Amino acid sequence: MTEEFNYLRRILLDFDHGVELLGEKTEPVDPGLVELLKSPSKRLSVQFPVKMDNGTLEIFRGYRVQHSKLYEPTKGGIRYSPDVDLSVITALAMDMTLKCRVVDLPFGGAKGGVICNPREMSPDELERMTRRYTFEISSMIGPDSDVPAPDIGTGPKEMGIIFDTYKMFNQKAPDAYAVVTGKPLSLGGCRARLEATAQGGAYVLEEAVKQGCARGLTSLKDATVIVQGFGNVGFHTANILHKDYGCKIIGISDSKGGIYNPKGFSPSDVLKYKTDEKNEKKSVIGYEARNTLAIDEFLTKECDILVPAAKETQIVGSIADDIKTKVILELANGPTTNLADKILFEKDVYLIPDILANTGGVTVSYCEWLQNKEGTQWETDIVNNILREKMTTAYRDLVFTVKSYDVTTREGAYILATSRAIQVIKDRGIFP
C-alpha cells in the first residue's frame, strides 16, 4: 500500500507536520511527548464464533482501540465493514482524539469494528454477532471508561443491542444507559442524533460563508452541491442543505456509482427510490433514468460545494487537479489524501477538514452521554443550540489559528488539536 493510500500513515504525517508548525511559533515540543500523543493507549484484537442462520459456525475478527486517555471516557464509533483492519481502526481512534480536541469535548479518542459485510447478514445474525462482540470488548467499555457509538454499517439498533448486552452483565450499574450513544430514543437516545453529523457540517459551512472564507461563495442560496455517499450522513446533509439553506443538490452517489442533474434533485425523493422494495439494488442508480457515473467522474463534476460523505481516501492525487469546486466539506473521515491536499490548496479550493467538519456526531453524542448521566432527555432545540455553538466556536478558533500561523485549514486544525492536547498533558503532569 502506498503512503498516499495508507490512512494511518497520513494522519501521523499530518500530526508530525502540525507539531513542527506549532514548534516554530512556540518552543519545540518534547519528542517523548509527541510519541505519547501518537501512540495508542490500548489495542484489543478479538476472534469469536457466531452461529449463522443456516446452522454453520462463522469466525469473526473484531477490534477496539483506545487511542488517548487524556480525558475519560474515550469515545468512538463501531464500524461493520469488510474493509475493517487494525490499522484503519487505529487511525480512526487517533482521528477521534483530534476531533475532540478541536471541538473541545472532554473525551479521549477510540474506535472499534468487526470485519464483516452487514448487507449480507440477516437481522438475527447481526444481533448475535453484535452481542458476542460486545461481550468480547466488555473489559474496555463502560460509562466512565469507553463509550461506543454508531459508524459505517451500524446504527441505533446495534447500539441498543450493545446497551442491552452490557446491562445483562452490569445489572446494578446506576448509569448503564451512558455506556453507548446513538441509541433509540426509548433507550435514552438523544433527539437530533441521527442528523447530527450533517447538521454540524451545515453549521460550519454556514459560518464559513458568513465570514467570507468560502472562496467566492457569498450565499448558500442556490449554491450547487455534490454529495458523495448517501447513507445516514450523506442523505441528511443533502436534505438539510436543500430544505434549510436552499442549495441545489446536483449530484448524489452511493457505493454503486453516482447520478447527476444540473437542474437538481430532491434528496427525499431519491431516498424513497433507493429504499423502495422494488429497487433490488437499494441504490440511487437508475433514478430518473440518469446515466451512472463512475466515482472519479462524479467527484470531478463542476459545483460550488463538494461533500465527500462516504469513507476515507476518496479524493486522491490522480483526480485532485480535475476537481472543479469552490469548497470541500469533509463529512467522511479522511476522504482527502495528503497529495490531493497540496493540489487543491494550489487550486485555491477552500477545504473544511474532517476533524472539524464532521464532529457534529461526537458533539451530540456528548449531549446524549450527559443526559444519560443526569437521567433526563433534552428537547431538540436545546441539542441543536449546543451543537451550533460548539461548531461555530470551533470554526472561529480554527480561522484564528490559520491566520496566526499562516497555514492551510488542515494544518490549522492539527495545530489547534495538538496544542490543546499538549496543554492537557502539561496540566495533568506525567505519572508517577
Shared-domain flag, residues 282 and 157: no
Q: Do 344 and 240 lie in a common domain? A: yes
109 and 217 housed in the same domain: no
Q: Are residues 157 and 239 in the same domain?
A: no
Let me know: does 78 contact 150? Beta carbons within 8 Å. yes
Count of helix runs (H) and strand runs (E) in the chain: 15, 11
Determine the Cα–Cα distance for residues 140 and 154; give it in Å rounded to an integer.
19
Residue in the block written with cell 486517555: 69
C-alpha cell at 5: 493510500
Q: In this predicted structure, what is the pLDDT of residue 3?
A: 73
Do 129 and 243 reside in the same domain of the chain?
A: no
Residue 111 bears catalytic tag: yes
Q: How far apart are CA 288 and CA 53, in angstroms?
A: 37
Does 271 share its domain with 310? yes
pLDDT tens per residue, range 101-136: 999 999 999 999 999 999 999 999 999 999 999 999
- Quote the CA–CA distance of 197 and 356 in Å, as a whole number: 11
DSSP 8-state assignment for residue 175? T
Residue 391 resides in a domain: no
- Phi then psi for residue 378, to 5 deg, are -85, 160
From CA 131, how far away is CA 188, in angstroms rounded? 19
Residue tagged 474515550 (cell numbers): 74
pLDDT value for 1:
45
Q: Residue count of the chain, please give it.
A: 432
pLDDT of residue 2: 65
Catalytic residue, candidates 75, 99, 111, 301: 111
Whether 201 and 358 have beta carbons less than 8 Å apart is answered as: yes
Domain count, the chain: 2
Instruction: Give the CATH number for residue 230.
Output: 3.40.50.720
Residues with pLDDT less than 70, the chain? 1-2
Q: For position 143, which CATH number holds?
A: 3.40.50.10860
Rg (CA), the chain: 21
Contacts of 280 (CB under 8 A, 6+ apart): none
